[in-house]
Amino acid sequence: MNVIRVSVSEAARLFGVSTKTVRRAIADGEITYVVVRGRYKISFESLVKWSQHRPSVKTKLEEEGIGQFVGQWKIKNRLYSPNPQTLERETQKIQS
């Protein structure tokens, strides 16, 4: 499995927060990272989990970060964009 890692500045832009906020999360051990050539490379998965546990970060993600664009995405690849009928059938199976 490939791990996606981003820099502090990329994380800040993606999540709509300041680099100080990201660095504070690193210092507090809230997100996982590795150091590559003297720079933090943050696990994207840990960033998402961190953002969902912090209400203010979650709000900024949706209003100022990448979340603001989700409604505009039009995914045409059926592999990543499930058919509404399939979703409806799966929902009915779960409710049964």
65 vs 27: CA distance, rounded Å: 22
* pTM of the complete model: 0.66
Number of domains in the chain: 1
13 vs 10: CA distance, rounded Å: 5
- The pLDDT confidence band at residue 9, using thresholds 50, 70 and 90, is very high
Return the DSSP state at 72: G
Residue 78 falls inside a structural domain: no
Quote the domain boundaries for residue 63: 5-71
Residue 27 falls inside a structural domain: yes
75 vs 55: CA distance, rounded Å: 28
Residue 76 falls inside a structural domain: no
67 - beta bridge partners?
A: none
Q: What's the rounded mean pLDDT across residues 27-33?
A: 94
pLDDT at 63: 80
pLDDT digits (tens, 9 = 90+) for 40-96: 999 999 998 998 888 777 788 778 877 777 777 666 666 655 566 666 776 677 676
33 vs 41: CA distance, rounded Å: 5
Of the two residues 96 and 2, the one the predictor is more confident about is 2
Residue 82 falls inside a structural domain: no
